[in-house]
């Protein structure tokens, strides 16, 4: 199973941008849990990590589209398409992101 392993543990409310091959992923820690979604806005195709994370919502820095980082669901336009969400597990102080969906 394709996966990304991250040894850097995040603080609450913190996020990091990851790039593995051609995949851009945004990893966040919210409510004590890790969440991973695509780091590319489904509307503007820019890095969401350059935007603002408030609670569970990341806002695109270009046009203000909003996405829920716990699910990838689009919360507001101009985007209307959700972004990919990835399964995350924590094993031996290492975060594992399953990149096959």
Per-chain mean pLDDT for the chain = 95
What is the span of the domain harbouring residue 83? 3-98
At 55, list the tokens.
Answer: 């609670």
pLDDT tens profile 42-83: 999 999 999 999 999 999 999 999 999 999 999 998 999 999
Q: Residue 101: what pLDDT?
A: 52
Q: Which of 72, 82, 73, 80 is nearest to 36 (CA)?
A: 72
* CA 26 to centroid of chain Cα atoms: 3
Structural domain tally of the chain?
1
Q: What share of the chain is helix, strand, coil (3-state, %, to 5)?
A: 5, 50, 50
Contact 69, 55 (CB under 8 A): no
What CATH number does residue 26 fall under? 2.102.10.10
């Amino acid at each position: 199973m394709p996966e990304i392993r991250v040894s850097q543990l995040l603080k609450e409310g913190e996020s990091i941008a990851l790039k593995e091959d051609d995949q851009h992923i945004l990893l966040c820690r919210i409510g004590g849990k890790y969440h991973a979604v695509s780091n590319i806005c489904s509307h503007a195709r820019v890095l969401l990590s350059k935007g603002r994370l408030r609670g569970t919502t990341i806002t695109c820095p270009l046009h203000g589209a909003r996405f829920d980082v716990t699910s990838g669901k689009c919360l507001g336009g101009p985007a209307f398409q959700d972004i990919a969400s990835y399964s995350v597990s924590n094993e031996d102080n290492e975060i594992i992101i399953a990149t096959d969906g």
